[in-house]
Amino acid sequence: MNARNSALISLFAVVAIALGACSNQQAYIFKADEFNRDSPTFNKEPKDRDDVQICYSKLATNVDELLQMAATECGKYGKTARFQGHDYLECPLTTPARATFSCLRK
């Protein structure tokens, strides 16, 4: 084995370990412009919420956890959560699935 092949194998191993370590990230509520300091909503809790979007990994999160997270978040505003759908590739690679819930008045 030459040095180039050895370096490629080492690089592949490091990348595989890094991705494996990050693959079980916990679900979280997606906040648009969360890190945009120029956004008027930066670092502020919303006064009301019409929907909740939760980024998650199917490997680390089950349906009951998603439902509980959505119910808790909508409940802060006196609302109940109703599932709307899934989509992909809107959240980071470690939490690739996104579930959207509507927050409806009780």
What's the maximum distance between 2 C-alpha atoms anywhere in the chain? 67
In a domain, 75, yes or no: yes
pLDDT range class, residue 65, cuts 50, 70, 90: very high
In a domain, 47, yes or no: yes
pTM: 0.74
In a domain, 84, yes or no: yes
CA dist 63 and 40 (Å) reads 33
| Domain count along the chain | 1
In a domain, 19, yes or no: no
Percent of the chain whose predicted confidence (pLDDT) is above 90: 49
Range of the domain at 95: 24-105
22 dihedral zone (left: phi>0; alpha: psi -120 to 50; beta): alpha
pLDDT range class, residue 56, cuts 50, 70, 90: very high
